Amino acid sequence: MVNLKRALLFLTVILFAANPFTSIAAEEAQGDGTKSQAEEINAHIKHHLEDDHYFTLYKKGEDYVGFPLPVILIDNGLKVFSSGKFKENDGLTEVDGQFYKYYHGKIYKTDAAGTIDYDAEHHPTNAKPLDFSITKNVVGLMLAALLLFLGFISLAKTYKKGSNNLPKGVGRVLEPLVLYVRDEMAIPNIGHRYKEFMPYLLSVFFLIFTLNLMGLTPIGFNVTGNISVTLCLALFTFVITNFKANKDYWKHIFWMPGVPVPFKFVLAPIEVLGMFTKPFSLMLRLFANITAGHSVVMGLIAIVYLFQQQLTVGGSIGVSMLLTLILFFLELLVAFLQAFIFTMLSSLFIGMAVEEHAHH
């Protein structure tokens, strides 16, 4: 019992220390005297949620400490350079006689003075080159893919030795989750054809789950909070669902059996619209929940520092620690839940498309 208590206490301390939001919110809430605390907090939350060409580890004063990432542009040829060049001259750099301005997370073509033109709604109108840069979210995706590759290679080696061997190391964590995806999602929703779609379901489940967990680390990734990433995942489900669909699926969409002919003309457009609302809901649900989770965690912890003058030092730290731990465990639940929901709905949509209907 004593060892268990010590283990729980150690885990609590580690979780608190590993959580990125407390130290970040404190740094931002203190400010530098030129902005109000609320403005500092809002600016950092926005910076955390957005993708970036510079890998930020933490903020010190007005500077973000980290390392530059490679910028890859296609504009009258291929241009590859470090994003650190944007920091050398207030976001402006020259490459092969072309001038580029880094403005609000995007790269625009400009002149030697770094001029940015705006429309009536104050949106930049400068041309943008094709940007294939390695951004922070791309690094997060690569890191997640590498971790999953190494983890499943380790699990696969265990099965090569024989079906009776127990997984070791990370395989002990992965195997129950693999069985859970198979027995609770794939088989009930898809049926006897579940093996055909297991690679995709396992890939999307573990990718989302891993990315969500990475978002709780001090590095502070927000990959699944990027709508481009969730759009890509939803499109994969959409393509697989419709390319693997059988003739009964398409018949129920365009000419629903058992329905009077006049109603078939009414229901067909609704069913076609439903084909696109399903992936749209997948995309929006994952993006909105992860983004809201990060915003709420950082916002609630920042409240402690906004009211630190009304609290004692011990009270401020105690409230911060309590909020951090509660919200951290809540985010752990959300990380798994969002991966589960996306995979469950994907398996459901695929199952509806490949199901063999009995007509009487």
Q: Which two tokens mark 204?
A: 């999307």
Residue 5 — very low, low, confident or very high, per pLDDT cuts 50/70/90?
Answer: very low
Token output for 88:
């050398």
**Segment 213-258, tens digit of pLDDT:** 988 877 778 889 889 999 999 999 999 999 998 888 888 888 877 7
Across 35-39, 51-55, 157-161, least confident range: 35-39
pLDDT for 310 equals 53
> Which helix (DSSP H) or strand (DSSP E) does residue 76 occupy?
none
Query: Mean pLDDT lowest for which of 57-71, 225-239, 269-283?
Result: 57-71
- Biggest distance spanned by C-alpha atoms of the chain: 76
Whether the per-residue pLDDT at 94 is higher than 70: the answer is yes
pLDDT tens digit sequence for 181-208: 999 999 999 988 899 999 999 999 999 9
Instruction: State the Cα–Cα distance between residues 19 and 15, nearest whole angstrom.
Output: 6
Query: Do residues 299 and 45 lie in contact, with contact meaning Cβ atoms separated by under 8 Å?
Result: yes
Distance CA 182, CA 352 (A): 17
**Rounded to a whole number, what is the distance in angstroms from the first to the last CA of the chain?**
63
Tell me the two tokens of residue 307.
Answer: 């009211």
Q: Which helix (H) or strand (E) holds 71?
A: strand 70-74
Q: What are phi and psi of 102, to 5 degrees?
A: -90, 110
pLDDT of residue 170: 80
Please give the pLDDT value at position 326: 77
Please tell me the predicted confidence (pLDDT) of residue 162. Answer: 65
Instruction: Give me the percent of the chain exceeding a pLDDT of 70.
Output: 77
Is the torsion defined by CA of 52, 56, 59, 63 positive or negative?
A: negative
Locus of tokens 């995706």: 141
pLDDT tens digits along 150-176: 989 888 888 777 656 677 778 888 889
pTM: 0.81
* The pLDDT of residue 2 is above 50: no
For residue 167, the SS3 value is coil
- Residue 37, pLDDT score: 65
Task: Report the pLDDT value the prediction gives residue 341, as an integer from 0 to 100.
Answer: 94
Cβ atoms 48, 42 nearer than 8 A: no
Per-domain boundaries in the chain: 70-133, 138-354
Take residue 235 and report the two structure tokens written for it. 């499109």
Q: How far is CA 326 from its chain centroid? A: 21
Angle between helices 313-354 and 261-306 (to 10 degrees): 160
42-51, 261-270, 329-338, range with the lowest pLDDT: 42-51
pLDDT at 171: 80
30 forms beta bridges with none
DSSP β-ladder status, 92-95 and 98-103: antiparallel
What local confidence, expressed as pLDDT, does residue 138 receive? 92
Tokens matching residue 7: 């283990």
Q: What pLDDT, on the 0 to 100 scale, is given for residue 234?
A: 95
CA distances from 190 to 194, 245, 272 (A): 5, 12, 21
* Tens digit of each residue's pLDDT (9 = 90 or more) over 135-155: 889 999 999 999 999 989 888
Rg of the chain over Cα atoms, rounded to whole angstroms, equals: 25
CB 248 within 8 A of CB 355: yes
Q: Is the pLDDT of residue 21 over 60?
A: no
Mean pLDDT across 101-118: 87
- Residue 296's pLDDT is 76
Per mean pLDDT, which range of 171-180, 241-250, 289-298, 300-309 is the poorest? 300-309
Residue 101, φ and ψ in degrees, nearest 5: -120, 125
Identify whether the C-beta of residue 212 lies closer than 8 Å to the C-beta of residue 334.
yes
Alpha helix segments (H runs only) across the chain: 2-18, 20-30, 37-49, 84-88, 136-160, 171-181, 187-190, 194-214, 227-243, 247-254, 261-306, 313-354
Q: What are phi and psi of 81, to 5 degrees?
A: -155, 175
Whole-number Å distance between alpha carbons of 198 and 322? 40
Q: Please tell me the predicted confidence (pLDDT) of residue 164.
A: 65
Q: How far apart are CA 158 and CA 139, in angstroms?
A: 29
